[in-house]
């Protein structure tokens, strides 16, 4: 097997969990090497083989995460959804800090970083390391600061801190992680760690917002908005293999649903509420179906 093909198969094996790759990675690569030497068919067969390898890896990840329990699968999906919410907070915070820095420069003023901005970052890092209770404490502090009338205005959707009718959509982004982390900490105080590469998500979203000069709910620019839509569709596609992305996507849409509730009492089109609402229902139904299907197998 050529070195290029070996690297290609090694990249595809990343679809499998690290523990599985350590135990059976060499065996899978040896099988693929034998198959590639005997391969005489068209390139389409190689593409099908690659797709089958990725699908098998995703299915293996879901089965190991479930451990024979649908409840564990749901907790893993909820943890991923909370992580996405925390990363949205970090992205909004980075964008806010950057905007304040630019404003201070235009006014010839020094705009020091807000120390409160570290709270959502530390919460996201804690959850990445699997420390659910630490993330719960930090998320609770973040929500308290946001809801306080003396807070620093970390809101993403609402006009600022405080519990007003207009501020509830923004508060959802901060209250929902506290609620879900409380449920997770009660049933599962710790969780398997995730890759540090997740921290690139808020950085890229903040760069997108700064580069395009267009912000969507203060959490990213138009490119981020489009990528999120592609990811939501992808979560539906992989439901038969792993329903956890659909669970996480449903959680991620809740703040957008809360924000879209504001269009119901205004002349704006009601489609602003119906589209995310319908997508949330489809994702939730798909997640329930996928979880039951995986539990039965």
φ/ψ bin of 220: left (φ > 0), alpha (ψ from -120 to 50), beta (otherwise): left
Give the residue carrying structure tokens 């959802």.
172
Query: How many residues does the structure list for the chain?
Result: 297
Angle subtended by helix axes 3-12 and 18-37, to nearest 10? 140
- C-alpha neighbours within 13 Å on the C-beta side of residue 112: 3
pLDDT band at 292 (very low <50, low <70, confident <90, very high): confident
pLDDT band at 155 (very low <50, low <70, confident <90, very high): very low
Confidence (pLDDT) at 129: 92
Whether the Cβ atoms of residue 242 and residue 61 lie closer than 8 Å to each other = yes
Q: What is the pLDDT of residues 54-77, one digit of tens each?
A: 888 888 888 888 777 778 889 999
Beta bridge mates, 190: 131
- CA-to-CA distance for 95 and 216, rounded, in angstroms? 11
Q: How much is the mean pLDDT over the chain?
A: 77
Q: What is the pLDDT of residues 201-259, one digit of tens each?
A: 888 887 887 776 655 555 567 778 788 888 888 998 999 889 999 999 999 888 878 77
C-alpha separations of 270 from 121, 267, 282 in Å: 35, 8, 18
Whether the Cβ atoms of residue 94 and residue 49 lie closer than 8 Å to each other = no
Give the residue carrying structure tokens 């020091």.
112
Say which residue, 106 or 277, is predicted with more confidence.
277
For residue 242, the 8-state DSSP code is -
Give the residue carrying structure tokens 């299907």.
293
Confidence (pLDDT) at 157: 36
Confidence (pLDDT) at 212: 66
Beta bridge mates, 131: 190
């Amino acid at each position: 097997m050529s070195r290029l093909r070996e690297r290609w198969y090694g990249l595809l094996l990343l679809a499998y969990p690290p523990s599985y790759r350590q135990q059976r990675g060499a065996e899978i690569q040896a099988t693929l090497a034998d198959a590639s030497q005997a391969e005489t068919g068209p390139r389409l067969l190689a593409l099908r083989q690659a797709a089958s390898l990725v699908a098998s890896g995703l299915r293996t990840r879901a089965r190991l995460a479930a451990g024979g329990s649908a409840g564990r699968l749901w907790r893993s999906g909820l943890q991923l959804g909370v992580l996405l919410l925390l990363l949205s907070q970090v992205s909004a915070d980075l964008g806010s800090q950057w905007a304040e820095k630019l404003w201070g420069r235009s006014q010839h003023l020094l705009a020091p970083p807000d120390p409160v901005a570290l709270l959502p970052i530390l919460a996201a890092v804690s959850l990445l390391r699997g420390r659910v209770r630490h993330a719960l404490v930090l998320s609770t502090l973040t929500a308290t600061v946001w809801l306080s009338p003396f807070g620093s205005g970390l809101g993403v959707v609402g006009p600022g801190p405080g519990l007003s009718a207009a501020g509830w959509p923004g508060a959802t982004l901060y209250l929902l992680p506290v609620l879900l982390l409380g449920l997770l900490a009660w049933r599962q105080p710790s969780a398997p760690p995730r890759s540090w590469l997740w921290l690139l998500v808020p950085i890229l979203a903040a760069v997108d917002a700064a580069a395009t000069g267009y912000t969507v709910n203060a959490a990213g620019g138009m490119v981020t908005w489009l990528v999120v839509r592609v990811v939501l569709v992808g979560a539906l596609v992989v439901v038969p293999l792993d329903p956890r992305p659909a669970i996480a996507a449903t959680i991620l849409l809740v703040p957008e649903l809360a924000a879209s509730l504001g269009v119901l009492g205004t002349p704006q089109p009601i489609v602003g509420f119906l589209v995310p609402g319908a997508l949330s229902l489809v994702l939730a139904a798909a997640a329930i179906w996928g979880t039951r299907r995986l539990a039965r197998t």
